[in-house]
Structures are given as C-alpha cells and as structure tokens.
Amino acid sequence: MKLQFAVYSKFVIIESRMNKKMNTIKQIVKKELSSSSHDLEHTFRVFELACMLAKKEQIVDMEIVEIASLLHDIARVKEDSDLSGNIDHALLGAEMAEEILRSLDYPERIVQNVKHCIQTHRYRGEAPPATKEAQILFDADKLDAIGAVGIARAYMIAGERGESVYIDIDLNSYVKENLLDGKINGRIKDISKHAPNIELETKFRYIPERLFTDTAKKIAEKRIAFMEDFFSTLKKEIDGSL
C-alpha cells in the first residue's frame, strides 16, 4: 500500500506540472497502454529521466521533450498484440502522435519534431535520432530498460510472454537462430525462446555505448554493472553453486 501511494503521489506531482493539453495527451496515452511493462509508470519514469537529461543539455526545447516522452510508447500494445510482427510501435506511434497533436492544434514545428523523436526512440530501430530532443528521449527510454528497474521490467515481460527465468545457451547459436537476419541487434523471432539474461547479452550491455548524452552514459554504466552482478549471482544459484 505504501509503495502504491508513493507511485500515485509521484504521478500527482508530475501531472501538476502539465498544462491542459498535456493532461489530455496523458489521458489518451493511459487508455492505450495496458501492458504492465510499458504502462503509465514506465512513461512517467521516462518523462522524468528525459526532463532531467534535458536540463543538463544546452539549447533543448523542453516542450518537445515532454510531449514526446508522454507519447513515445502509445503504440506499444498494438505492436505486442500483433502476431504477424509487422507493427513497429515507433513508426505507428509517430503516426498516432501526429493525429493527436493536430487535433490539439499544436504548431507544425512541434508536430514534426515530436514525430521524429518517437520514430527514432527504439533500440532496434533503423533511423538514428538526429535532434537533441530525440537523442534525449532515446537515452531516457534506454535508461529505464537497465539497472534494478530494468531487471524488474525484464521479468514482468518474461511473465507476460512465457519466457524462461534463465537460459544457458551459446550466444552465437541463439543470435543465428532467434534474432532477425542473425544479427545481435535484430528483432526477436520467437519470444518464448528468449530470457532476461539473453536480453542482457544481446541488448542491455550495449546500451551505454549507444547513448548520446554524457549524463546518461554515466548513469548507464552503473546500472549495467548492477545487472551483471545480478545475473552472475542468478546463474550460480540456478547451478547450485551458491
């Protein structure tokens, strides 16, 4: 109960900083998100991280950062529900965001900049973030995927998708068999063959070198070290050596 109250209180504080249009966006996003690992809590953590990173940078449009942070995962549930694997939540989310922002009469400058932020925010995306605002969103979203909260989210996803707690497999064989085009940064083919420790080896540990801001890189290094310790201990416990 105390944890739920703390989370609720944090939401109230964030919402108190939003204007009427942003609160409308937040309500739209809330209706779209039902996945427990990409819910409003994740969105708000990314929002806070992005705002923190933006304050460390120079010449950043904070309004674009805030709006893009709220909308970045709006199509995530649609991607997760698509058995064909054809939906990319970053691309679809950018289209949905454009429609929402136009309905709220945002200027074209903001619409286009927010679209770019969302289109380029995913780790396994094709297009790199080209603006400072897009780079900040990318960094904030990736930071929420690692560290203690990253482990918690990884196991929430594992539970949702029927993944194993830990898979002991040759990494090269796994990449060739279950990642698109046999590339370590390729999209996952069969999520049931995946596991959080595999996500560390194919994605999480590469995050620090992919980040753009110095602040995010420093935070990421500490968070990855924590994850490595966790999965090392987990393997020892599973093997019965600890």
Q: Are residues 19 and 126 in the same domain?
A: yes
Q: Are residues 153 and 34 in the same domain?
A: no
Q: Are residues 88 and 169 in the same domain?
A: no
Number of domains present in the structure of the chain? 2
Q: Are residues 19 and 59 in the same domain?
A: yes
Q: pLDDT by residue (tens digit) across 50-59?
A: 999 999 998 9
Q: What is the pLDDT of residue 1?
A: 44
Written as one string, the DSSP assignment of 127-145 is SPP-SHHHHHHHHHHHHTT
Residues 110 and 30: beta-carbon distance below 8 Å: no
Q: Are residues 8 and 72 in the same domain?
A: yes
Tokens of 140: 């904030």
Provide the residue range defining the domain that includes 197: 145-242
Q: What is the pLDDT of residue 105?
A: 96
Any idea what the CATH number is for the domain that residue 208 is in? 1.20.58.1910
Q: Are residues 28 and 133 in the same domain?
A: yes
Q: Are residues 84 and 118 in the same domain?
A: yes
More confident residue, 184 or 218: 218
Q: pLDDT by residue (tens digit) across 114-141?
A: 999 999 999 877 789 999 999 999 999 9
Tell me the whole-structure pTM to 2 decimals: 0.86
Residues 46 and 39: beta-carbon distance below 8 Å: no
Any idea what the CATH number is for the domain that residue 35 is in? 1.10.3210.10
Tokens of 118: 């969302």
Q: Are residues 122 and 190 in the same domain?
A: no
* pLDDT-wise least confident of 4-18, 34-48, 117-131: 4-18
> Domain ends where: 84, 107, 137?
137
Mean pLDDT calculated for residue range 209-219: 97
Q: Are residues 8 and 106 in the same domain?
A: yes
| pLDDT over 50 (residue 4) | no
> Domain ends where: 96, 117, 137?
137
Q: What is the pLDDT of residue 2?
A: 44
Q: Are residues 122 and 21 in the same domain?
A: yes
What is the sign of the dihedral through the CA atoms of 9, 140, 143 and 125?
Answer: positive
Q: pLDDT by residue (tens digit) across 91-103?
A: 999 999 999 999 9
Counts of helices then strands in the chain (DSSP H, E):
13, 0
Residue written as token pair 């925010």: 121
> Domain ends where: 83, 107, 137?
137
Q: Are residues 118 and 41 in the same domain?
A: yes
Mean pLDDT calculated for residue range 33-56: 87
Q: Are residues 132 and 151 in the same domain?
A: no
